[in-house]
């Protein structure tokens, strides 16, 4: 297989992590991994993954569409986390995922590797968008309410679980 970023460079087998083989470009350090191999490798890992690292990494990310190294079809970009700006490229024809230079280590450092296959699905992407929307709304209300927002947020959490929540909401709306 040839690297689709660096014309003329072959992808060579490399061990990204103990027991996880990828095809990596010697020029750009990007790597292609079969999702089947990634899922199997994740299942073999200890149940308690290492804790997330606070180390900030300089990670490359290609903005445009990338071609799959195996089939040359266009890959789809998927977000992995709202905390990481990079997006992974996934080929749905070959079930391959491409990691640009530094992306693998950034995902491992963020403690996101065990959830990665679930994030690279339509449902996983919807969940990320919903979490992002809720975070933006919370930030908006925190700014609008100001100093007392923490108390309001605590009350909201309490109200959500209260058995008489509908009656309490109606009472609060009385003027």
Question: Average pLDDT of the chain?
Answer: 89
- Residue 65: predicted pLDDT: 83
Cα distance from N-terminal residue to C-terminal residue, the chain = 70
Tokens found for residue 4? 């689709």
**b/e map 101-115, b = 16+ CB within 10 Å:** bbbbbbbbbbebbee
- Residue 89: predicted pLDDT: 94
Taking Cα atoms as reference points, which of 101, 88, 80 lies closest to residue 14? 101
Task: Kindly give the residue spans of alpha helices, DSSP state H, lying in 10-57.
Answer: 35-44
Mean pLDDT of the 82-105 span: 92
- Residue 145: predicted pLDDT: 95
Tokens found for residue 29? 């350090």
pLDDT band for 47, please (50, 70, 90 cuts). Answer: confident
Mean pLDDT of the 17-42 span: 94
pLDDT band for 86, please (50, 70, 90 cuts). Answer: confident
Q: Where are the domains of the chain?
A: 11-120, 128-172
pLDDT band for 41, please (50, 70, 90 cuts). Answer: very high
pLDDT band for 13, please (50, 70, 90 cuts). Answer: very high
**Which pLDDT tens digit goes with each residue over 144-161?**
999 999 999 999 999 999
Longest dimension (CA), the chain: 73
- Residue 69: predicted pLDDT: 87
Does position 5 have pLDDT exceeding 90, yes or no?
no
Under 8 Å CB-to-CB from 23, ≥6 apart: which residues? 1, 11, 12, 13, 14, 31, 32, 33, 69
pTM: 0.77
158: enclosing H helix or E strand:
helix 149-161
Question: Rounded CA gap, 145 and 12, in Å?
Answer: 55
- Residue 48: predicted pLDDT: 65
Of 20 and 54, more confident: 20
């Amino acid at each position: 297989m040839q690297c689709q970023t660096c014309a003329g460079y072959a992808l060579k087998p490399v061990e990204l992590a103990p027991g996880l083989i990828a095809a990596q470009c010697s020029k750009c350090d990007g790597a292609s991994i079969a999702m089947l191999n990634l899922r199997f490798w994740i299942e073999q890992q200890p149940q308690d993954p290492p804790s997330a690292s606070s180390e900030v990494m300089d990670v490359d990310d290609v903005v445009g569409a990338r071609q799959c190294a195996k089939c040359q079809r266009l890959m789809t970009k998927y977000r992995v986390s709202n905390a990481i700006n990079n997006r992974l490229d996934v080929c749905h024809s070959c079930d391959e995922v491409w990691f640009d230079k530094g992306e693998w280590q950034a995902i491992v450092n963020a403690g996101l590797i065990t959830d990665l296959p679930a994030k690279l699905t339509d449902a996983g992407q919807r969940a990320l968008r919903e979490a992002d929307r809720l975070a933006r709304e919370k930030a908006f209300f925190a700014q609008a309410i100001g100093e007392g927002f923490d108390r309001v947020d605590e009350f909201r959490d309490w109200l959500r679980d209260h058995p008489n929540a509908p009656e309490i909401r109606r009472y609060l709306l009385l003027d």
